[in-house]
Amino acid sequence: MPEAAVPPTRSLTRLRSAAADCRACDLYRDATQTVFGEGPRDAAVMLVGETPGDVEDREGRPFAGPAGRLLDRALEEAGLDRDRAYVSNAVKHFRFHREGKRRIHEKPDAGQIAACRPWLRAELAAVRPRVLVVLGATAAATILGRSFRVTKQHGEALEWADYAAGSPLTTDDGPPIDDAVVVATVHPSAVLRSRERDAAYAGFVADLGTVARVLA
């Protein structure tokens, strides 16, 4: 597979257009379209999840399905506005298998995550958020490294500078951003799957509340 052809620009419009033709991994073959991030380039908050789901793949927007609706509600309860945030995923194409007519989400593999890494790096460099919110284990491994554990450090206000050197997003050209506060939490889909959903949701909102306090 060819490497991702990321243009040298901070224009999200140009990045999105280039990503639409990405063939850096095999996921483009079955996915409907590339699901690039969305939101203002001057967003103070950037949220990064794992990969698009079925609804996102069809609509072309990140977090447009059930997990996205839960995220929107949690952001509002935490005092944050999704419309003022930039929202994306570590991987831009939907990975799935079929069960009858249903398309069932599958976690992207290491090669697919690595192939998409240049796009996330470019998004971070374009937006340069004050706070970077990591949603779930895949996003955490992609941004902070495989040793990071969301279960142990969720809801903490962490300094990007403490993780930049070991981040998979850091290349020979340096890290994609110089500084930011990083807040890790669960992926909203994990809240939907939880047997104790009310408690999981309350914890999710509490973690996002850290973001609101950092921005205050």
Q: Over the stretch 99-119, which tens digit does the pLDDT of each residue have? A: 988 998 889 999 999 999 999
Look at residue 4 and tell me if it is in a domain.
no
Look at residue 1 and tell me if it is in a domain.
no
CA-closest candidate to residue 131, choices 152, 167, 160: 160
Look at residue 43 and tell me if it is in a domain.
yes
Look at residue 7 and tell me if it is in a domain.
no
Q: Would you state the pLDDT for residue 1?
A: 58
Q: Would you state the pLDDT for residue 148?
A: 94
Q: Would you state the pLDDT for residue 119?
A: 97
In one-letter notation, the amino acid at residue 171 is T
Structural domain of 44: 12-215
Q: Would you state the pLDDT for residue 101?
A: 87
Low-confidence ranges of the chain (pLDDT < 50): none
Distance CA 31, CA 128 (A): 29
Domain count, the chain: 1
- C-alpha of 64 from chain center: 13
Q: Would you state the pLDDT for residue 3?
A: 74
Q: Would you state the pLDDT for residue 2?
A: 66
